[in-house]
Each structure stands twice: as structure tokens, then as C-alpha cells.
């Protein structure tokens, strides 16, 4: 078995750039595209699928 040597990556739906994950992504996780800085939400991990994350108001207090 060959473990830990593969890279988890997907394509940014916004710019088509490569989005890499340092570790296994979680369903619902939000990541940022290194190419265009858009936020992406993981909607599926098997197979890996991401969508543009909805704009969320940062209203978490101070
Ligand atoms: Zn992008």
C-alpha cells in the first residue's frame, strides 16, 4: 500500500485553478482558493467536490 504520498486536490469552480488540501477535507469545510482567493465549501469528499461558498456576514461578536 502507498499511503500518505498522494495529494488531495480539486478544481476551483471560479478560476479553474488547482485547490490542494494538506489533509483530507471534511464535508462542509470551507477552504480558500490560492489562485483567486474565493471561498469554497466542500460538498462531497468521495468524490471530492467543492462549490463557491455563500457570502456569510461575519457576525460572530468581537
Ligand atoms: Zn480560484
* CA of 13 relative to ligand 1 center, distance in Å: 7
Alpha-carbon distance of 11 to 23, in angstroms, equals 16
Domain range for 18 is 9-52
Query: Per the domain annotation, does 57 fall within a domain?
Result: no
Query: Per the domain annotation, does 20 fall within a domain?
Result: yes
* Tens of pLDDT, residues 12-57: 999 999 999 988 999 999 999 999 999 999 999 989 999 999 876 7
* CA of 1 relative to ligand 1 center, distance in Å: 33
| CB distance 62 to 22 below 8 Å | no
Structural domain count, the chain: 1
* CA of 20 relative to ligand 1 center, distance in Å: 11
Alpha-carbon distance of 15 to 42, in angstroms, equals 16
| 4: pLDDT strictly greater than 90 | no
* CA of 16 relative to ligand 1 center, distance in Å: 6
Residue closest to 49 by CA, chosen among 22, 32, 23, 26: 26
Residues with CB under 5 A from ligand 1 (ion): 12, 14-15, 17, 33, 35-36
Query: Per the domain annotation, does 28 fall within a domain?
Result: yes
Amino acid at each position: 500500500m502507498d499511503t500518505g504520498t498522494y495529494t488531495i486536490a480539486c478544481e476551483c469552480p471560479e478560476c479553474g485553478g488547482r485547490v490542494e488540501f494538506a489533509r483530507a477535507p471534511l464535508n462542509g469545510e470551507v477552504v480558500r482558493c490560492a489562485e483567486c482567493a474565493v471561498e469554497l465549501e466542500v460538498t462531497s469528499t468521495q468524490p471530492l467536490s467543492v462549490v463557491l461558498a455563500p457570502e456569510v456576514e461575519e457576525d460572530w461578536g468581537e
